[in-house]
Amino acid sequence: MNDAPRVLFIDDDEGLRRLAARILGRRGFAVETAGSGDEGIARARDGAFDLVAVDHYMPGRDGLSTLAEISAMPNPPPVVYVTGSEESRIAVAALKAGAVDYVVKSVGEDFFDLLASAFAQALDTVRLRRENALGEQRLRESHARLEAMLREVNHRVANSLQLVSAFVHLQANSLTDGAAKTALEDTQRRIAAIAQVHKRLYASVDVDTVEMAEYLAALVDELQHTWSTPASPRTILVSAEPVKLKTDQAVSVGIIVNELVSNACKYAYPAEAAGEIRVALRVPALGRFELRVEDDGCGLPADGAPKGTGLGSRLINAMASSLKSTVEYDTAPTGLTARLSASY
């Protein structure tokens, strides 16, 4: 009997209370009773009941008022509402006030059969709610642990890339061969473009996507410091609409921007002249983004062949392919515009 669900039966009818305790006890419930709403509230506060049954019509404090007081308790037990009235409005009012079920009072053991069935269903409902709440809590805890682990991974990756970038920088500084030095410096910038993504992921609440406006602003700021000198000033402007891309997409876009902006800084303008490069990211439709990098320089060579080693062009094509897109170039009498449109 120790495992029997503890039920508090609140009713002003003493005979019905004794009958409920006896019959429901035979059905596996440990029943305690209270003769008024105030007594029932006091008993509910003091005892750890699995379930409460409340009668509607009681002198003094009625069932709805009693139900409201019990429902306001910390971790209240489920309440089955009992009434002799067949008016649906009372049942609806009780359910709205927090009752898990209601039973219409009648003469005979049919009433107790219905009551026992309502008790069993209420206990099952509470058990399922608790199991669901526990499952959701465990999922939240698991998700939080995974997010923490992923942030730590991104932090370590960012640090590792920073370390690799420093090694490449040291190696570049030790070289006297101009072409090799330039190649390593280009590699360093590519590493920095990827590292910026992981820095963003580490610092962000969202560890799955990258806010592109902030990312591009930071990336362009680094490129500005790299390429703009007093002898060859380069102004790099960025305009980006709010959009979040997945990590791999953000990396691809970052490398494309790095290559296009670097090419424009190196080849679009004469070495001793000022020049402006504009980076724009737009969201023309839900699920799609458009990247544009443009300058006012000399445009593409007549034969369309890339300047330099051509590695930058191959990287651009590879990254665009990973986005299931291509980069298209528009050349005017002056200037060059590179466009890419892709889904996210």
Q: What is the pTM of this model?
A: 0.57
What is 6-105's CATH superfamily?
Answer: Response regulator (3.40.50.2300)
For residue 278, give the amino acid letter: R
Q: Where in the chain is the domain with CATH 3.40.50.2300?
A: 6-105
Q: List Cβ<8 Å contacts ≥24 apart for 274-277.
A: 274/232, 274/233, 274/234, 274/235, 275/232, 275/233, 275/234, 275/235, 276/234, 276/235, 276/236, 276/237, 277/234, 277/235, 277/236, 277/237
**Could you tell me the two tokens for 318?**
């590879």
Does residue 81 contact residue 102 with C-beta atoms inside 8 Å? yes
Q: Please, which contacts does 66-73 make with residues 24 or more away whose CB atoms are closer than 8 Å?
A: 66/10, 66/37, 66/40, 66/41, 67/94, 67/97, 67/98, 67/99, 68/97, 68/98, 69/37, 69/41, 70/40, 70/41, 70/44, 71/97, 71/98, 73/44, 73/45
Task: List the end-to-end C-alpha distance of the chain, in Å, as a whole number.
Answer: 61
Question: What is 209-344's CATH topology?
Answer: Heat Shock Protein 90 (3.30.565)
pLDDT, tens digit only, all 344 positions of the chain: 468 999 999 999 999 999 999 999 999 999 999 999 999 999 999 878 999 999 999 999 999 999 999 999 998 999 999 987 677 889 899 999 999 999 998 877 788 989 999 999 989 988 888 898 889 999 888 878 877 877 787 778 878 888 888 888 888 888 888 888 888 888 888 888 888 887 777 666 677 889 999 999 999 998 998 899 998 999 999 999 999 999 899 999 999 999 999 999 999 999 889 999 999 999 999 999 999 999 999 888 776 666 666 788 999 999 999 999 999 998 777 899 999 999 99
Query: What is the pLDDT, as a whole number, of residue 1?
Result: 47
CATH 3.30.565.10: which residues of the chain?
209-344
